Structures are given as C-alpha cells and as structure tokens.
Structure 1
C-alpha cells in the first residue's frame, strides 16, 4: 500500500512510517508549515490565512498523490483531509482534543473528527475526550524505535537525574520542581539535567543543581539518556508519552505517573509518583540502589518491546486499512 503520514507529532508519524516501510509499504511523510505554532491559541487566529493556504497546499498533495491510506496527526489538521476530499484516519495526541473545551476551535475539531474514517488517540487519558465525539475512537500505543533507543552501559561519570519531560505545568513540572528542591536540600551535590522549554523553565534555571540544555535533536536523546542514572517523566495525567517510552526503551528507570494498567492488561514498570515527596523519594531510592535501578530499567525495556514496538504498531494500522479496502471492494462487487 501507499501511505501518507501528515504532521510528525512527537515523532509518532515518522516511527509509524518506518514501521510501515519495514512491512513493505511505500510511505511519504508530509509536513505542514505550522505558522504561529508558538503563539497563544487566540493569537493563532491572526495567522489563520497563512495556515489555510498551507492546508490547501497539503490538500492538493493528498489529492494528487493517489495514496491508498492517509493518516493525519493532530485533530484540527483533519481539516486538510476534508479539504482534499479523501478518506483519512485522524490521530489525536493531547492538547489537540483538549482544545474541544475552547470555543474558537471546538466546531472545527468536531468536524475533523466526525469526517474521519477512523480516529486513534495516542495516550489512554485522551479516551473520554475522543469518545465523546467518536465513540469508536481507538487507543493506538505510540510506536518506539527500539533499534535507536536501546540499552547502553552506564558510564562511570554518569550524571544523577535527567528530567525528560517538558518543563510545563501540563507535564507536572511544578511538582518536579518542588521535588528537585527537596532533593537538593538533602543532597547538596545532586546533579540534575533538564531541557529548556515550557513555562517553568525560568524557575528551574534558578536552581543551582540544574543544568539546562537547549532543545536537543532527537538523534542525540539516546546517548543523553544513557548518561543519566534516573529519568523523571511527566507526573500529571497518569499517562506516559513518547519520551518516557523512549527512556524505558533505553533501559533506564523512569519516574512517572501511570494509572492505566487496565488498558495494557499489565502494570508499566515505571516508578509511580505523583507528588513532590513521592518523586523525591523515588529518585533517592533509585540513586542509592543500583541493583533495583538496573532491574527496573531491564523490565522497562521488555515492557516497551511487548507493547510499543514500531513494527507491531504499524501492523495494526495496516490491518485496519486492509479491512477498509476489503470492505470497499466488497461493496463495489455488490454494486456491480
């Protein structure tokens, strides 16, 4: 089959594309220009004409591309599929469906979701939002590149803690900030790394124990994760995202909030924490007990292999599209 993946959110589209190629499919990744992406929601209306022009460009590509399957990432971008007049699958990732609570975007997002041939959502916490509009929406685990994000030996000079999530409130960064303050008070020599980005960046910058890095190219993340003993991910929504999964694939212990064992049928081997005290205590325990940290890391790698392997996730996407093509062929034969 010939696939189009539109908009690479958290590298999900590129990983799906790689998984589909590994299964023998031709896959093209199309990127929107995302004018004004860093602007607040209401100010994005000012660049709406530029975005519409870009959407028309993408719609033309989709019409002319003769794709067997079109997979669009981020809810409102489903409007590109509507403009193209082609069947499309819509993949929701987080704030895109939470924007259903915002009046300027609600109608457009609902339209994009309702017109989609199928709707996926990338983390289990999005189920209520997606199924309120599309009761048939399906959880599709994020595909992880297990060859790139792989275990590596811990170097002798490994730093202590790496905060791998964005320094934003919707990731629980305020709780992580308080946890680092607690850890610093108890361990004056603690060394913490974080990547700048998010409304709490300035607050982290003021902590002497924290080294802030500029936004890193994704290909550098495996080596960066490998140089740290403990990783801290998001501790807010109870769901783990792509960066937490990639850290687990590197066989490093990840501290995060996880409340969706029922969706997987198994607990994720993250070290669960939701309060500053829990985050601080978990970090100290893992830093002090290397045997436990290594065991958690090894179990994490196995869990990601079982539930998030990119080729297996791509096979699920392929199966849905094959079933759709078969249904359409059956209808065509009946009509004939």
Structure 2
C-alpha cells in the first residue's frame, strides 16, 4: 500500500493530515485481521522516527527517505518520486518480499504505483481521496488552485489503473465526466468509521471533562485550510451572538508550527474583528482516542466546507450521536442524509447556516432524533465492511485474495 505524502500514524488536524490518514490506517489494520499482509510505504518526514512501525496484526508502516526528511509541500514531492520508487523496490529486494497488488492513495502514490507496476507486473488499485478538478471548482482564490501537473498526472493514473475506488457517486461521476474513466473499472465504496471507538456517551461527563459550561457547544474538526469554510462558520456565530445567542465553538485541528501569516492567523484576526474571542477555543490537533469526548460533548458538529470528497468527520460525529450540519457539496451530500442524520445548507450561506444552527440548538428533541438516526447510519459504515468490499476488488484483480474474504467481519 502506498501513502506517499502523509503517514497514517500522523496526528490528525495538521496541514497534511486528515481523513485519508484514518482511512489508510484503519483499512490496513482490518485487512491484516483478515490475513492480508500489508506494508504501507510512506515518505519519511523525520529521520528520528523508526524506519518500520507496527500498525496492527500483519500490517506495518515503512518510512522511506525521498528528498529531505522533513515536511514538504505536496507538489514538490513529485520531483522525489523516483527516489521513493527505488526505495520501495530496494526494500522488496533486500527482504525477499513479493507483492501481489499495489493499493495507491492520492495522486502522488498513483504516480509511484504505475512506476512500480512496470517493474513488478502486478495490478494497481487507485483511490484518489480528492480530485484536483473538483477542488479547483471550489477554489476561492488563485492560490488555492491545484497545479496543472496534478491534473495531468491524475488523468494518466485514471487511464492506466487496473481498478479505481470512488468514495461516493459524486466522485464516480467526476471520474467519468472530467477524467474519461472507464466505468466498469470503477468501484464505489464509502469510507468507514470505527464504531467501537466512536460511540454515544454521557454528554454531561464529556462536557465536565472538557470544562464546558451550559452554553450550547458547536464543534469543528479538520485541517485548518481555506477550503474548510471556517470563515463562514465564524460569520454565522457572529450573526447568532448579535441576536443574543450564547455559543461556544471548539476548533479541533491546526499545528503548533503554523506560520504567523498562515490561514489560522487569518482566522484569529477574524475572530478578534468579530468580537468572538470569548466564544472560540482553538484546541489543536487531537489523537483519535480523544476525539469521541468532543463529539459527545457537542450539541452540533459543523462542516461548512466549500468542498469535501467524503466527510469522514461527519461520519465520526454521527457515530457518537452528534447532529451534523454540513455544506451541500461533494461527498457530504451522500454522507449526510439531509433531514435524517443531519442537515445540509448551501456553502458560504451565512444566514442559512446560522438559522439551521439556531434551530438545532433550540430543539432538544430534534437533536436527539437526528443523533439517533446518525448512529444507525454510521453503523452501516464500519471498517470491517469497507475492508471486505475492498478485498473483493483485490480478488477481482488477484485471485489469491479470495480466501481472505472468509475472514471478513462485516456481519459479526
């Protein structure tokens, strides 16, 4: 398995970490439980980290040097992919390993996967997690546009991969329309959630643990980036507070080394300008085992993004019984069932977002009903079910994967 630009073990909420890290980690662990031997190769960003780190039963992460062993903008990693490919191949040769299939995550991994296929003559299964052309349509400035290099490489990967996994029908449609993908080669498999970790809990205990008072709590989780729409949420909160509502917003994500002129700094200036300093708390990135406490404590989890390929945060929140309000964009339109497991509003619509927040915060019964349905919906997206579906795609490319399906735990 290839996850070139980001390690599945990295703390979530940073500039280069998010749902894909969770996906690679949890899928690898579940495949390992099914008896599949999984090596996840990633670019080393810190020379002090052990070269090999166990990920779970039969699964491990292998850190390989490719360029400076330090964080690097994604577009710059492309120039070091030949070194990465050589590193993966050298690892295979020195350890006598034989890989039956390459599962690549994101476009950079897809480039490496196609190069390795030339050497190994094994099939490639590609998952993009996010598509450059979709992101560009959601971009709000020239600085947010994805480079032509990415678009060109994505098109090449789509045409050359043996199988592509799309997270939802929105991504599938984009692959067909904008990338001329061959429809029979696309499998649509939603992302998953760990329902053993993300589960409803004692709201009062969770709020006490986080030192929260009785004011309604809104929760935002993710990478702090313009495309995530935090500016819209802040404006909505300012609108509500101007009307007399007392709210607390918890922002989970960001990095300690965020530059002073970065997007987080812009958001802090906006908070000061709107007079929200006492209402907003930057929590920073959190490990997965701590996140459920925040979801349980929150009255509403908000995803005001301008684009999301899937919206794993929404699924985690629903699994914990937290009502979700999300933008009607990308994969969120299928992850959130509008009016059933949460509510969808138009992106950038401050008034609509504020009105929906006010409605949910004021209606305890509605929050309970939406939360209950969210728990039921999330239960249909457990990682064992995702891993079984992925393994079926493996088996369609490599018959040796078929016996592992007998160990699938989807219906346990």
Shorter-chain TM-score tier: 0.7 to 0.9
Question: How many angstroms does 1:231 deviate by?
Answer: 0.8
Separation of aligned partners in 2, 1:99 and 1:288: 35
Normalized against structure 2, the TM-score is what? 0.68
Question: How many angstroms does 1:251 deviate by?
Answer: 1.1
5+ long unaligned stretches in structure 1: 330-336
Matches within 5 A, 1:1-336: 4=1, 6=3, 8=8, 9-33=20-44, 39=73, 44-45=75-76, 48-61=78-91, 65-85=97-117, 86-96=122-132, 98=134, 102-131=147-176, 132-136=179-183, 137-155=186-204, 157=207, 158=212, 160-187=217-244, 189-197=246-254, 199=263, 202-204=266-268, 205-206=271-272, 207-208=276-277, 209-237=279-307, 240-258=310-328, 269-274=341-346, 275-306=349-380, 308-326=381-399
**What CA deviation, in whole Å up to 9, does each residue of 1:202-223 have, x standing for no partner?**
3245331111122222322112
Separation of aligned partners in 1, 2:222 and 2:306: 11
Query: Does the 8 A contact of 1:12 with 1:143 survive in 2?
Result: yes
RMSD of aligned Cα (Å): 3.2
Aligned length: 321
Separation of aligned partners in 2, 1:73 and 1:262: 22
What secondary structure does 2:29 align onto? helix
5+ long unaligned stretches in structure 2: 9-19, 46-67, 137-145, 255-261, 403-412
Separation of aligned partners in 2, 1:187 and 1:140: 44
Q: Cα 1:265–1:279, aligned 2, differ >3 Å: closer, same or farther?
A: closer
Query: Does the 8 A contact of 2:336 with 2:344 survive in 1?
Result: no
Normalized against structure 1, the TM-score is what? 0.82
Separation of aligned partners in 2, 1:65 and 1:327: 16
Q: Which moved more, 1:254-263 or 1:160-169?
A: 254-263
Separation of aligned partners in 2, 1:60 and 1:114: 27
**Structure 1 or 2: larger helix share?**
1
Question: How many angstroms does 1:272 deviate by?
Answer: 1.6
Q: Cα 1:276–1:60, aligned 2, differ >3 Å: closer, same or farther?
A: farther
Separation of aligned partners in 2, 1:31 and 1:102: 22
Q: Which moved more, 1:134-143 or 1:195-204?
A: 195-204
Question: How many angstroms does 1:53 deviate by?
Answer: 1.7
Question: How many angstroms does 1:142 deviate by?
Answer: 0.7
Question: How many angstroms does 1:238 deviate by?
Answer: 7.2
